[in-house]
Structures are given as structure tokens and as C-alpha cells.
A and B are shown apart, each in its own frame.
Chain A
């Protein structure tokens, strides 16, 4: 339910970039959303259709790239994808880990005409 404000930010970012590039239309928007972030692509799409009406982003295709959860073992520095909720390093069995990926939320690129 917090995707409305987020989508407003997306529209403002892409319109700003398109203006800098003197583009007439935005045809695609590539977004990276981390698996651990609380944002729902379908919701972003729903609000985007509404918020882009009448501007040069109208009709743009949203491409969502999901960034997987990645953990870094603090003991042996191995980076791994957790297989369950225990978050144990597969190399050294340490449970002292930090999040190395999965919380991303950014506009990666846009395609303009």
C-alpha cells in the first residue's frame, strides 16, 4: 500500500532523465527490486498506468528485475544465497552473516525515443 508514493518517485525520476536527453517518449523502464524489499511489482504497475497518463511515459513497459537475497559470511567472506530461513554459511556453517543483496530499489535504465 506504499507503492503510490514510490511510483510517483519513479515517474519523476524517469521524466527528469528523459527531459535531460530531450526524448519525446519513454518506451521502457528497467527497475531493480530486491527480494527483501517490501514492494510489489503489480502494485507499482497499477499506479504507474494511472500516474503516467498524459505524459511521455504513458504506455511505457515496466521491466522488473528481481535482485535475489545474497548473504555474506562475516567469518569466511563467502557470498551465498540462503536456502532456508536459518541463514547458515554453506562453507563454514557460521551464522554470522550480513545482507549483501536483496534490498535494492532503483531505476536502472530507460529506453527513450
Chain B
């Protein structure tokens, strides 16, 4: 009987595929963002608004992650040609996208022609935070009807995010959501995080969000990131 020291990260396999994905994206000049939120916060709506605003400037592709159905990819396909749907129901991870699934999806996209890749993760605030996909930026959406306590209840996903979108701003008169205390809690966890207040329904605030995306895309062109 003997004890052997191992000290090996269990997520190493995912992280190394994520890194390969990112290198592939950088080689092709594609800027990728991983959009995460709880179900119903507005990931697909944000993608549709972003496409509407930027499709004349950029060629945009979308990877749609869902447990089941092609509902979201059907909506998005009306606006852009390059959409890949991933259904996680029969995969070993059903609650989140993982790097391997994105690797397969990237092989089905004409990467050389694409500028911006929007990856819609599975609706969930816990599992996606553990799995890098190869994205350049991570964005979390929190919508007003969910309540303002999400950064306190699910800190990890907010700690790793580069930006948070506060969506459904048009609900403000009808729900208890203290935007100031939400932002204070968020800044405590992540002092450099970018915060956008918007409504995908009315279009308010979409301009600032898209301006940030374009700025980050430009920065990445000059100095491609390698993010874990």
C-alpha cells in the first residue's frame, strides 16, 4: 500500500480545450462572448437586439445552448445565417455548455468570415461559471423580476464576469429591485466590472452595450487575449 501524490486539476481537460478554442478564434479574428444568466433573464433577447444594432457593421454568428428544443436558434436564424444549436439533454453535462461542445460547434461555422460570436449558455447561474469555453469576455444578465440579491446568492458567476447587464429595466415601476444596492454588491465582488442598464423590450440602453462590445472587440484585435 502506498500513497501517491497527484495534485491535478479535475477541470484541466476542459481548460485545455477552451484554450484551443480561443486560439482558433484568435487565428480567425473572431471575438467571442459567453452570455450567462438564469432562465428567462433575456439572453436570446439581448442577442437579437445586439444583432439588430450591429448586423450592418459586423458578421455575427451565434451558438445556442439549451437543454432541449431549437426554439431559440429558430428565432435567431431569422436574423443571422450562422447559428449552431447545441442541445445538452443527452450529454454528460446538461446544465451548462462545456469547451468540448463549443469545439464541435466552431467546426460548423465559417470562422474566417465571422467578426463576432455570441455564445448563449444554458440558463443557470451556478454550473456555467466552472467551465471556460474559449470566450474573450463573460457577460451575466440579471433581470429585474429576479430580484436584486443574485450577486450575494451566486457570487462566483459574478466574480468571473467582465460585464453585467441589468435587463428588463421597463419593469422598474412594478418590482422590488434596488439598482443601487445591486450595483454596490456587485462592485464589492468585482470592482472592475462593467454594468449596463437596459431593456431588450424597449431598446433603451442597447446603444451603450453595443459600444462596449465594439470597443472590446477592437482592443482584442490589437492584443488578443488568452483568458482562462
**Contact between B4 and A112, CB atoms less than 8 A apart:** yes
Nearest CB in chain B: distance from A100 CB, A: 12
Cα separation A107 to B4 with both chains bound (whole Å): 11
Q: Does B57 contact A (CB under 8 A)?
A: no
B72-99 to A contact mask, C-beta < 8 Å, 1/0: 0000000000000000000011111010
Please, which residues of chain A bring their CB within 8 A of the CB of B9?
A: 105-106
Cα separation A61 to B159 with both chains bound (whole Å): 34
Which DSSP category, helix, strand, loop or mixed, fits chain B's interface?
mixed
Q: Does A52 contact B (CB under 8 A)?
A: no
Count how many pairs of residues, one from A and one from B, have CB atoms less than 8 Å apart in the complex.
Answer: 94
Please, which residues of chain A bring their CB within 8 A of the CB of B92?
A: 2, 4-5, 8
**Contact between A106 and B188, CB atoms less than 8 A apart:** no
Please, which residues of chain B bring their CB within 8 A of the CB of A105?
A: 9-11, 130
Q: Does B223 contact A (CB under 8 A)?
A: no
Closest to A85 in B: B152
Q: Does A9 contact B (CB under 8 A)?
A: yes
A71-85 to B contact mask, C-beta < 8 Å, 1/0: 000000000000001
Please, which residues of chain B bring their CB within 8 A of the CB of A39?
A: 130
Q: Does A55 contact B (CB under 8 A)?
A: no
**Contact between B6 and A110, CB atoms less than 8 A apart:** yes
Cα separation A105 to B129 with both chains bound (whole Å): 13
Nearest CB in chain A: distance from B88 CB, A: 9
Q: Residue among B4, B12, B131 with the most chain A CB within 10 A? A: B4
**Contact between A106 and B7, CB atoms less than 8 A apart:** yes
Q: Does B2 contact A (CB under 8 A)?
A: yes
Known: A13-B10, A105-B11. A36 touches B94 (CB 8 A): no
**Contact between A21 and B4, CB atoms less than 8 A apart:** yes
**Contact between B8 and A106, CB atoms less than 8 A apart:** yes
Known: A9-B13, A27-B1, A85-B152. A108 touches B6 (CB 8 A): yes
Nearest CB in chain A: distance from B115 CB, A: 31
Please, which residues of chain A bring their CB within 8 A of the CB of B96?
A: 2
**Contact between B155 and A36, CB atoms less than 8 A apart:** yes
Please, which residues of chain A bring their CB within 8 A of the CB of B93?
A: 1-2, 4-5
Please, which residues of chain A bring their CB within 8 A of the CB of B11?
A: 6, 9, 105
Where the two chains meet, the residues of A that have a C-beta atom closer than 8 Å to any C-beta of B are 1-2, 4-6, 8-10, 12-14, 17-18, 21, 23, 27-28, 31, 36-39, 85-87, 95-97, 99, 103, 105-113
Pick 29 A–B contacts, CB within 8 A, sort by A: A1-B93, A1-B127, A2-B92, A2-B93, A2-B95, A2-B98, A2-B130, A2-B131, A5-B98, A6-B11, A9-B11, A10-B10, A18-B4, A21-B2, A27-B1, A36-B156, A37-B156, A38-B156, A103-B156, A105-B130, A106-B6, A107-B6, A108-B6, A110-B4, A111-B3, A111-B4, A112-B1, A112-B2, A113-B1
Please name the 4 residue pairs, one residue from A and one from B, whose CB atoms are nearest each other, closest first: A5-B92, A2-B93, A1-B95, A4-B92
Where the two chains meet, the residues of B that have a C-beta atom closer than 8 Å to any C-beta of A are 1-14, 92-96, 98, 126-127, 129-131, 152, 155-156, 159, 188-189, 191
